Amino acid sequence: MPGKHVAGAPDEPCRRCKDKISVLVVRSEPLCHECFARYVHTKCIKRLESFRVNFGAPEQQRRILVPLSFGVSSVTLLHILDLHLKTQKSKTGRTGFAISVLYIEEPDQPLEAEELLHKARKQDPDHQYASLPLHDVFRLIPDDASIRNLVPQLEHTNDSSPQEQLARLIDSLTSATARADVLTTLRTRLIVEHAKLAGCDSILWGDSTTRLAQRTLAETAKGRGFSLPWQVSDGESPFGINFHYPLRDVLKKELISYISMSEPGLAALVHETSSGVTQASTSSKNTTIDDLMKQYFESVEENFPSIVANVVRTTSKFEVRPGAASDPRCSLCSMPVPGGRFGIHGWGGDQEDGDNISSVKPTRNICYGCTRSIPKLATNTNGN
Amino acid sequence: MAPSPCALCKVNRALILRPKDHSKLCKTCFIIVFETEIHHTITTNVLFTRGERVAIGASGGKDSTVLASVLKTLNERYDYGLDLILLSIDEGIKGYRDDSLETVKRNAEQYGMELTILGYEELYGWTMDQVVEQVGKKGNCTYCGVFRRQALDRGASRLGVKHVVTGHNADDIAETVLMNLLRGDLPRLSRTTSIITSTPSVSADPLSNTNIKRSKPLKYAYEKEIVLYAHHKNLDYFSTECIYSPEAFRGSARALIKNLERVRPSAILDVVRSGEDMVKLVPGSDEGCGGVCSSSVPAAEENEGGCGSAQGRSTGGEMATVEAQLRHNEIAAADSLETEITAKSVNGKGNGNGKQPGQHESGTVILSNDKKAKKGFVPKKANKQVMGQCKKCGYLSSQEVCKACVLLEGLNKARPKNKIEVGDEVQDVSLNSVRDEMQATSIGGA
């Protein structure tokens, strides 16, 4: 095909309905507004097979959790799920599931949680909405000892507030990459805990194809290749709750188009922290590995969308090792670590000689990737 | 800024910011640490046995020059008892290899090592210049790449050497891990991350060139440190940097690795670690055997085309080609037109051997020069390649006849007569030619 049309107005009829004028080109197909919306809906709903109306047990309503960040993807997901429920209701008088929505308030994030949730509630009033501060992770995780051990302790106090603990943990990290990594990990764990407490059997994440590809390479770069089978796959997660990524077949740029063409009420919900194309940070000090991968896939997505999709498809082919369920878990990210090989020592690329290792014997059970982010306990601040 | 003392000896002034972990070291300590780490790699992986004769694949570039220098030093310091020799391959391209071969000759003198230079002419009966004359400029990179892959092994077996070491470094491995994720090639991902590759059980014939063991002592060494080491030891090497097309997969992965290294110095090592862990997650992998099991995919694989230095030029549209193929497959899948034009027809030949079909039948994206290359995309399982021997030359091959022999047959057939068959054969090759210039450039693949 000679060149692509810009996503403007190609002036061609829609390839699908052959009737209306197309408004954008989606994977080399010019589509009209309606057909594009249907395209996005279909891709998402196709992934929801297991959430059909259960006529066998009508009194048992399944509950799922949708983490809402007010980004393009999670807003779109919630909207499509809402439409889907309405369709189910109109067709059968019932729904296949009920939705709990959770927003996580990050430290230093100026988003007005209350106001946003209020708007979201107005848009889709039928769901349960909740908002939790990230430091609640220290309150909610039941065996909080292990995760709390990672927080550098002050000399005598042991009973500081979760808020202080989070601040102290984040302050102890020495790079932007480490901070972003740990925050993401804590967010996931808090979402999981909340989902369990709210009686949800599944979490439906808003991640697009692009985002999943990005995560694949970012986790690889952070030394978490071992955890890839759980990073992008639908189904059982190591957290004892199911993970689903219904937008896994939709590209980020398609979701952006979707929102931009949607009713104003929906677009008004979106509060992307970084709008549009991710800027290359001028200083590598503030750049994170996640940022790098985000930039990278935003550019690959532009011209090579199928390559992005192929990364995700390839990653989904990784198989969970038999017996992984009984492997010891990382205290931070909670991923099963093969053979309990915690820390960054004891493999081929570890160049420390044997005598050195015993002295650095891990006192904490955290995986290779988490150890890179939290290299040393605060008491031992030799650079790494 | 006040000069800080070396973090190790605490005496000398630190002059080197170590790329791997940003520790501040003096020159002497850096050199010692660099060498000790390679010693550590060699001993923990038991790369060598006493009395072994080991050929260093030498191109005159920084990696192989540093490898030769370090191995000589360590062999003396720790008394490995190795008989080290240099082995260089001359593709027979006038004016291209001359300088680097001169460098290798000087290295041989400097290190007191025996040097053998083997030409494509001696190994295959054809220099690259002659090949180009025969097939034209287009597509000749396939020949060069396929020939080169086998050249080190063939050369080694001529010399009666059972072990070839190559200069692949951590950056190379990390790049390959990302690249194979990007193009969805799980079988190759498994293969390129292991430090030793060999297939001991394929043939009992001691003269067979399938019994060559390959290893990468610099697997965990950073490229930047290799350059620093060469610089501070005043090593004599020749810069033959390949110009990768920014569009190609490896170029893309390379840029990514460089950026990652800037953001977090350990990232290169971390990607290598991820790569090693991911191998165990590839369906049907031989967990933990390090690629040495007889059933695992072998050291040198012949179905990769392309030549390192020509890579940039010949594959400018590599990603675009793959994108087009993938999209085609997606459309086919969406229309339920799934299809016999897929892997089966490609693998047909392998079946005659009683081997499983399944080479690359795995959602692997076949990167091909040939636009006609038909590759189905029906990923279910990442099958591994089943290796046998080429019935002509005895070289490892997943096909009945290895790529080099197929190519040679085409060339030789055409020599007296017209080039009737060449077109077909070329196409045949490029069907399977996933290029991987790390293996192509190198004197030898993983």
pLDDT at A5 over 60: no
The confidence score (pLDDT) of residue B165 equals: 95
Choose, out of B185, B218, B274, the residue to mutate when testing the contact with A (most A CBs < 10 Å).
B274
A225 touches chain B (CB under 8 A): yes
- Does residue B76 form part of some domain? yes
The confidence score (pLDDT) of residue A348 equals: 79
Domain ranges of chain A: 61-327
Q: Which two tokens stand for residue B49?
A: 């046995």
The confidence score (pLDDT) of residue A4 equals: 40
CATH number at residue B131: 3.40.50.620
- Does residue B364 form part of some domain? yes
* Rounded Cα distance, A280 and A294, in Å: 10
Interaxial angle between packed helices B170-182 and B186-193, expressed in degrees from 0 to 180 and rounded to the nearest 10 = 170
How many CB atoms within 10 Å of residue B39? 20
Contact B379, B186 (CB under 8 A): no
A28 touches chain B (CB under 8 A): yes
* Rounded Cα distance, A311 and A209, in Å: 9
Look at residues B429, B210, B111, B436 and name the one whose alpha carbon lies nearest to residue B306: B436
Residues of chain B with pLDDT under 50: 200-203, 242-247, 287-316, 338-384, 417-446
Contact A278, A272 (CB under 8 A): no
Q: Mark whether B88 and B195 lie in a shared domain.
A: yes
Q: Please determine, for the modelled complex, whether the ipTM score is greater than 0.85.
A: yes
Beta strands A98-105; A63-67: pairing state: parallel
A372:B272 CB<8 A:
no
Count of structural domains, chain B: 2
Look at residues B284, B302, B313 and name the one whose alpha carbon lies nearest to residue B436: B302
Nearest-CA distance B267 → chain A (Å): 6
A46 touches chain B (CB under 8 A): no
Chain A 92-131, residues with CB within 8 Å of chain B CB atoms: none
Q: Mark whether B206 and B109 lie in a shared domain.
A: yes
Query: What is A61-327's CATH number?
Result: 3.40.50.620
- Does residue B90 form part of some domain? yes
Q: Mark whether B111 and B237 lie in a shared domain.
A: yes
* Rounded Cα distance, A68 and B351, in Å: 52
Which chain B residue is nearest to residue A347, measuring alpha carbons?
B273
The confidence score (pLDDT) of residue B418 equals: 47
Nearest-CA distance B21 → chain A (Å): 6
Cβ-Cβ contacts under 8 Å, A217 against chain B: 178, 181, 256
Looking at residues A34-54, what average pLDDT do you find?
92
Q: Mark whether B227 and B298 lie in a shared domain.
A: yes
Contact B410, B422 (CB under 8 A): yes
A353 touches chain B (CB under 8 A): yes
Nearest-CA distance A118 → chain B (Å): 39
What are A58-99's pLDDT values in tens digits?
Answer: 667 899 999 999 999 999 999 999 999 999 999 998 899 999
The confidence score (pLDDT) of residue A44 equals: 96
The minimal CB distance from A318 to the residues B37, B264, B282 is found for B282
Query: Scanning the structure block, which residue is given the tokens 């004891």?
Result: A346
- Does residue B39 form part of some domain? no
Nearest-CA distance A20 → chain B (Å): 22
- Does residue B38 form part of some domain? no
Residue predicted with more confidence, B432 or A6 = A6
What is the sign, positive or negative, of the torsion defined by CA atoms of A260, A266, A267, A273? Answer: negative
The confidence score (pLDDT) of residue B178 equals: 94
Q: Mark whether B100 and B25 lie in a shared domain.
A: no
A309:B326 CB<8 A:
yes
Look at residues A44, A166, A272, A346 and name the one whose alpha carbon lies nearest to residue B276: A346
Looking at residues A196-213, what average pLDDT do you find?
96
Give the number of A-B residue pairs with CB atoms closer than 8 Å: 159
- Does residue B40 form part of some domain? no
pLDDT bucket at A382, cuts 50 / 70 / 90: very low
Which chain B residue is nearest to residue A221, measuring alpha carbons?
B271
Q: Which domain holds residue B174?
A: 45-441
User: Which of A279-283, A309-313, B61-65, B173-177 shows the lowest per-residue confidence on average (mean pLDDT)?
Assistant: A279-283
Which chain A residue is nearest to residue B280, measuring alpha carbons?
A321
- Does residue B172 form part of some domain? yes
pLDDT at A315 over 90: yes
Cβ-Cβ contacts under 8 Å, A224 against chain B: 274
- Does residue B127 form part of some domain? yes
Nearest-CA distance A25 → chain B (Å): 14
Q: Mark whether B260 and B175 lie in a shared domain.
A: yes
Contact B185, B7 (CB under 8 A): no
Q: Which two tokens stand for residue A279?
A: 């800027």
Contact A222, A367 (CB under 8 A): no
Q: Mark whether B194 and B273 lie in a shared domain.
A: yes
